[in-house]
Every structure is written in C-alpha cells, then in structure tokens.
Amino acid sequence: MKKFLFLLTSALFFITSNLNAQSPTPEYGIISDEEKKLKECPFDKEAEAVILLDEGDSNYDDQYHLITKRRIRIKILNQRGIERANITIPFYSKDQFEFITNIEGFTYTENENFSYLNKKSVYTEKKNDRVSYIKFALPNVKTGSIIEYRYQSQMKHYGGLSDWQFQSDIPTLRSSYLLQIIPGAEFSYLVNKKNNYPIVIKPLPGDGQIYFEMNNIPGLLFEPYMDAVKDYMQRVEFQLAGYTSEFGSKQKVYQTWKNISYELATDRDLGNAIKKSLSIPIDLKLSVESKMTLLEKIKTIYDYVKNNFQWNDINSKFVSDGLKKAWDARSGTSGEINLILINLLQSFNIESYPLLVAERDFGRVDPDFPLIDRFNKTVAYLEVDGKKYILDATQTFCPFGLIPYPLLNTYALIISKKNDKLIKLASTDEVYKNNVLVQMDLAANGKLNGEATIRSDSYAKEFYTSKIKNNEKKYITEYIEESHEGLKAIEFSYSNIDTSSTLIQSIKFTNQLNENGGFLLLPYNIFTGLSKNPFKSNERFTNINFGYPYLVSVVELIKLPDGCKTDDLPADKILKTPDNDISISRQMMRTENVLQIKLNFQQKLTLVSYDDYPTIKEFYKRMIEMLNEPVVVKLGK
C-alpha cells in the first residue's frame, strides 16, 4: 500500500501526486448510452454489479455544521446483483449528532423506464445507542437496471469527518470526494492505496478545498485469515491536526504518538476518568487482600469486573457519561468497563494504564502515522516481572494472561505521562495447543465407531470455549460433523470449561464407510482442524494473519477387523516450508490388528505478507493432500 500523509488548511495545500483537473460527472438522473450498453465490468467479468459513480462533497453552513452530499450510481449486471438495490445508510444518531435528509432514488430499466423511490418506504432502524440505519429498497430492479440514490448528512461539527473509501466489495468505475476545510482548522490526511492504482489529488487553494478521485478499482472480497477489510481499501483518512483558538493563537492537536498519549492521559473522559473514587465492595476488598501474589490479586479484580459488569456491545475509547454512572448501572461500553477495571487496580496500588487498541477487524494502526481514530477501544495494561498483561474485561472467554485474540499482531498506545509508547501486541509464549487422542473400532461391514478426547490449552481453549458456550448444538454440527464427511456425533461432553485447567472434550462418534469390491477407504484426517485448504484462489490481495502459533498433536489407534490387509500404508512423511516455519509429520505403524497413526503440526509464523502467498498456498495444498491420502483396507473373506 502506498501512503501519503499531508497537512491541509483552508489557506494552503501541499501538492501531491497525479495532479489533474477533476473530470465532470454526469447529472443526477441522466443515463449515458455507454452506461445503458454496459453488460459487464471491463476489468472484472464475473462481477454481479459495478459502481458507476460514487461521489461525495463535504462543506459547512453558517453554524459550521459538517454537510456532506453523497450520490451513488450502480449497474446491476446479473441476478446476484439485484440485492444491491436494498440500501442501508448508517449514521451517528446519539445525541442527535447526525441527521440524514433529502433522500432520493430511482431505478432505470430499458426503454427509458424510470421508477422512483417512494419516500414512504424509507425507514429508520436503531442498531445501538450510538448508531442507527436509514433503510430502503429501490423499486423494480432486474438484471440490466441502473440504480441511483443520493442523500445529505448533517453533523454537528467537523469532528465527524470520516474516511473516504474509493473501493467497495464490487468494482468501482469512478469515486470522487471534494472536501471544504472549515476556517481556522488544519487537517492531516493519509492516502492508502496500491502503487498500481493512480489517484488524482487536486488542491483548490482559492476555494479552501481539496479534491480526490480514483478510477477503475476492483472489488475487494473476503479472503481467509485476512485482517480488517478497510486495511486494504483504497481510501483517504482525515484527522484534525490543529485549529485557531478564539484568541487567535494556533493550537496543534495530536502531532505525535507522545502528544496523543500525553493529551489523553489528562482527558476528562479517559485519563482523568480513572481517578474518580468508586465504592469498592467489601467482598472484593477482602478477596483481593487474601491473595498472596500480585498476579492472584490482579486476576481476582479482573474476574470481578468480567463477571459483574455487562458489556452493551459498544466499543469506545472514552467514558460517555461518567464512570460512576457505568459503575452504578453495572454495564457500559468497552471503554467504560475497562476504565473501571483500571480504576480498581489502581485503588489497590497496582500500577496499570489505559491502553488504546485497534481490534483486527477494525483496522490496522500504522506506527508511522499518529491518528487517534485508528483505535476503537480502551483496555487495561500492566507489566509484572517483565511480562506484559493486556486485560479486556469484555472478552468473556479470554483466560487471564492471554492477549485477547482480536488484538494479536496489532499496535497499541499506552496512555500515560511517564510511560507513553506505542507497543506491538503479539503472542510469544502462548500458542494454539491441541492434543488429540482418537480410538476407533472398524467392523467388517465398514461401520466405524470411535471416541475422541481433545485436550485444549491457551488459544485453543479460548476458541473452543467460545464456540461451545455460544451455541453447543451449532458447534457439534459445524465443527464436528460437517467438518468430517459422514461422521455422526453420538455423545458429547466437556470439562474444565470454567476453570484455568485444560479444556477436555469427549466425543463419541460413528461413521459408515462405503465398501467397494471388498475394499474400504479409511479416513484418518479427523479432529486435526486441517480438513480443508483455506487457500485456493490464484491471487491474494491481503496479508494472512493467523493470529497465534499452532501446535497440534494427534494420535489415532484403530482396531481393524480380523483378516483384513493394509499392504500399502501411506509412507511416513515430513513436510516443511523452506524456512521451517510450518511443518507437519505423519507416521503409521500396524501391530497385529491395531493401526497407529501419529500426526504433528507446528506453525510458528503468525503474519504472512500477501507477497508470500504462493509459498503458503503450495504448502497447504501439499499438506491437505497428504492428510487426505486414505488408508486402503482390504477386508478378509
């Protein structure tokens, strides 16, 4: 991704790359012959739809409200694209910060047929306390239709200025954005784009504006183990960098990570919020004081907050209505709950700090560009005996001592006047660890009965605990039965799910194998977590983020029917990448009527550049082929 970071003001702009005059856009409701004749996207023949135009224009009124006009035109190319006519416009509804008005839309079909949006069909749906949706469906849409809609957003101030994304999940022919800078304000902007995608950036100093445009951008689709989609979106980001005060002096905002940390350490709704006095319950006080070690005290406080406060599903960096309100309600945003956790830790003289984090699906923090909007929540940070502890009391299933999975391979900012720094969060000692023992009995009629014992620690325990507790029935169906062809779970039980001990799952199962000419194909790639290859596409656009290292060991003992033969057992084999970051081994041995199979998988690397995708793809292809190579059993007569 190519990045530019520049400062823009209402008086002066820095010239960037590809400076060209913006081209005129077609008028609303006027469809060109070229658009009418378009049957497929020129650079993506399989696309279900294509964005012909995505246009934004941000300005301000006499009260310095941020006014943004948005207009989108889409061509529906096949039946799958018809769903694109169901429109959702998110907006920030808390405290009436944003309003959506002037909604218009139409559908164009052949023979100059226009169907216009009935405004009575437009409705508002509340998502949570902060965000609501405007929803509507454009009428009479079919393959070949062109749909267009536009609306206006009014925000209370420029603090709501959002990124402009040139890219979508479907291809875009043209995307443009014109920004009017409010007098007295300075904004920094960061352009994220691939080197081979040109961008137009045109400063308009006389008008206090800047114009951005990109053309012919492919759609960005989901890829396995990818980071946040927006990390790879072609986009421009904005952040307030400074302003002129009412006394005429220039005030700078968030120029470095150190500046950000210092400012937020004294912010009323962040650093100063943890200084508020809370009434510590006597049972918590006695429980903490009874613990002998510092880590036991920390864990006691962490468990108390995790078990006694309800997260409202809203992520935040700050306290919205004061910490005491969240304390009394025993519920709040992620920021409020974790600031309560820090407050309690400090009440017991345990040194801890707020930590600004960006969960992987929110987007990546670039260490070279200090932008506070890159973070989406606040958690707690401590250091004990040289080890970092990152505590998020909203992560219900995350065991104490583990870096929460959504934060792995990300950057975070410590909020402190004396300990401010940007740190990398990654798993070092902790891995996804599974030990599996499978005992099976193969009958002469091809009926396979077995029992598996899965022992899970660290991130494996967190993964399985969350799946089982969220929906046990779905877990059995999706992760046990559907992941293994023909396998049917008969009994399922588990232990230690709510303790710090190893999670143990016990699964009794059956599978009816098909006989063909006296032969059976005996599968042994079961409960490995490696039954399918996730890397099949020819090209990769995003990095591969596995999160944590893997260590999986499987031992299988299969009792074979009397008189059967296994003359050509798959050979013992070891596969490894050139740098030995991924390896898998297979061993097989038959003793009398018992076939023993050992599989060991180890993966040290956690983050892979998309440039190295061919190596990962080839290794996983060979590994899955090896694991799916069956044992041929010839039945005795």
CATH number of the domain at 271, please: 3.10.620.30
What one-character DSSP code corresponds to residue 206?
Answer: G
What is the extent of the structural domain holding 476? 432-634
Is 164 in a helix, a strand, or coil? strand
Check whether 2 has a pLDDT greater than 60. no
218 vs 172: CA distance, rounded Å: 6
Q: What is the pLDDT of residues 197-236, one digit of tens each?
A: 899 999 988 888 999 999 999 998 888 998 888 788 899 9
Closest CA to 145 of 35, 41, 71, 219: 35
Q: Which residues, at least 6 apart from 210, have a Cβ–Cβ distance to it below 8 Å?
A: 8, 13, 178, 179, 181, 189, 201, 202, 203, 204
- Of the chain, the percentage scoring pLDDT greater than 90 comes to 69
- Torsions phi, psi for 342 (to 5 deg): -65, -40
Q: Considering its fold, how many domains does the chain have in total?
A: 2
Instruction: Give the span between the Cα atoms of 396 and 394, in whole angstroms.
Output: 6
Q: Which residue has the higher pLDDT, 152 or 221?
A: 152
What ranges in 266-398 are assigned the alpha helix state H? 282-290, 294-308, 323-329, 334-347
Domain assignment present for residue 458? The answer is: yes
Residue 251 has pLDDT above 60, yes or no: no
- The answer to whether residue 178 is domain-embedded is no
pLDDT at 147: 97
Predicted confidence (pLDDT) per residue in 412-467, tens digit:
999 998 877 899 999 878 999 999 999 999 998 899 999 999 999 999 999 999 99
Statement to judge: residues 332 and 264 lie in one domain: yes
Q: How many CB atoms lie within 10 A of CB 549?
A: 21
| pLDDT above 80: residue 3 | no
pLDDT at 289: 94
Q: What is the SS3 assignment for 372?
A: helix
pLDDT average, residue stretch 121-130: 88
Q: Of the residues 399, 425, 451, which one is the last residue of a structural domain? A: 425
As to burial, measured by CB atoms within 10 angstroms (0-12 exposed, 13-18 middle, 19+ buried), residue 59 is middle
- Distant-in-sequence, close-in-space partners of 190: CB < 8 Å, separation ≥ 6: 3, 4, 5, 236, 237, 239, 366, 369, 371
Please state, in angstroms and rounded to a whole number, the distance separating the CA atoms of residues 114 and 29: 9
The candidate with the shortest Cα–Cα distance to 120, out of 143, 107, 100, 103, is 103
Q: In this prediction, what percent of the chain has a pLDDT beyond 70?
A: 94
Mean of all residue pLDDT scores within the chain: 90
510 is a domain residue: yes
- With a cut of 70, say whether residue 255 has pLDDT above it: no
In a domain, 188, yes or no: no
Angstrom distance (rounded) from CA 461 to CA 467: 10
Amino acid identity of 358?
A
Place of tokens 């002066």: 12
pLDDT score for 282: 94
Distance from C-alpha of 406 to C-alpha of 576, rounded to nearest angstrom: 28
Nearest one of 554, 587, 568, 326 to 453, comparing CA atoms: 554
Residues 419, 325, single domain; the answer is yes
**Residue 503 to residue 495: CA distance in whole angstroms:** 6
**CB neighbour list of residue 341: distance below 8 Å, 6 or more residues apart:** 301, 302, 305, 380, 391, 393
Mean pLDDT to the nearest integer, 155-173? 92
Per-residue pLDDT, 21: 46
Could you count the other beta carbons within 10 Å of the beta carbon of residue 285?
A: 12
Helices 334-347, 294-308: axis angle to 10 degrees equals: 140
- DSSP label at residue 399: P
Q: Look at residues 370, 357, 379, 374 and name the one whose alpha carbon lies nearest to residue 425.
A: 357
Q: Let me know whether 408 and 547 are in one domain.
A: no
Coil, helix or strand for 625?
A: helix
- Where do the DSSP E strands lie in 61-128? 66-76, 86-92, 98-109, 113-116, 123-126
pLDDT at 15: 36
Same domain, residue pair 396 and 469: no
Average pLDDT over residues 307-313: 93
Can you point out the beta strands (E) in 98-234? 98-109, 113-116, 123-126, 131-137, 146-155, 164-165, 172-180, 185-193, 200-204, 209-217
**What's the confidence (pLDDT) of residue 16?**
41
User: Are 304 and 385 found together in one domain?
Assistant: yes
374 with 466, same domain: the answer is no
Q: What is the pLDDT of residues 453-507, one digit of tens each?
A: 999 999 999 999 999 999 999 999 999 999 898 999 999 999 999 988 999 999 9
Q: What does the radius of gyration of the chain's CA atoms come to, in whole angstroms?
A: 29
Residues ≥6 apart with Cβ < 8 Å to 414: 261, 353, 354, 355, 381, 420, 421, 422, 423
Task: Report pLDDT digits (tens) over 517-565.
Answer: 889 999 999 999 998 899 988 878 889 999 999 999 999 999 999 989 9
Q: Tell whether 47 is covered by a domain.
A: no
**Within-domain flag for 413:** yes
Q: Which residue bears the tokens 């620690």?
A: 457
- Judged by DSSP in three states, 523 sits in coil
Q: Measuring CA to CA, which residue among 447, 7, 76, 458 is closest to residue 250?
A: 7
For residues 441 and 330, membership in a common domain is answered with no
pTM: 0.79
Buried b (16+ CB within 10 A) or exposed e, 326-356: bbeeeebbbbbbbbbbbbbbebbebebbbbb
- Give the phi and the psi of residue 303 in degrees, each rounded to 5: -65, -35
| CA 177 to each of CA 15, 66, 163, 165, 382: distance values in angstroms, whole numbers, following the listed order | 17, 14, 10, 9, 43
Cα–Cα dist 574/576, whole Å: 7
Do 394 and 311 form a contact (C-beta atoms < 8 A)? yes
Cα 580 to Cα 582: distance, rounded to the nearest angstrom: 5
Pick the last residue of a domain from 425, 440, 468.
Answer: 425
Shared domain for 337 and 387, answered yes or no, is yes
Kindly state whether residues 338 and 450 are assigned to the same domain: no
Distance CA 399, CA 397 (A): 6
Q: How confident is the model at residue 332 (pLDDT cuts 50, 70, 90)?
A: very high
Cα atoms in the Cβ-side hemisphere of radius 13 Å centred on 390: 27
Of the two residues 194 and 522, the one the predictor is more confident about is 522
For the ranges 60-74, 342-356, 364-378, 383-397, which has the lowest average pLDDT?
A: 364-378
Q: Are the C-beta atoms of residues 361 and 228 closer than 8 Å to each other?
A: yes
Give the mean pLDDT of 181-199: 84
5 has a pLDDT exceeding 70: no
Of 425, 451, 471, which residue constitutes the final position of a domain? Answer: 425
Residue 32 near residue 121, CB atoms below 8 Å:
no
Phi, psi angles (nearest 5°) of residue 438: -120, 125
Classify residue 482 by its DSSP letter: T
User: What is the number of H-type helices and E-type strands within the chain?
Assistant: 9, 35
> Same structural domain for residues 623 and 482?
yes
Residue type, 331: S
Residue that is written with structure tokens 């919205």 in the block: 320
Residue 568, pLDDT score: 87
In a domain, 38, yes or no: no
Q: CATH number of the domain that 508 lies in? A: 2.60.120.1130
Same domain membership, residue 623 and residue 580: yes
For residue 398, being part of any structural domain is answered with yes
Q: Are residues 402 and 327 in the same domain?
A: yes
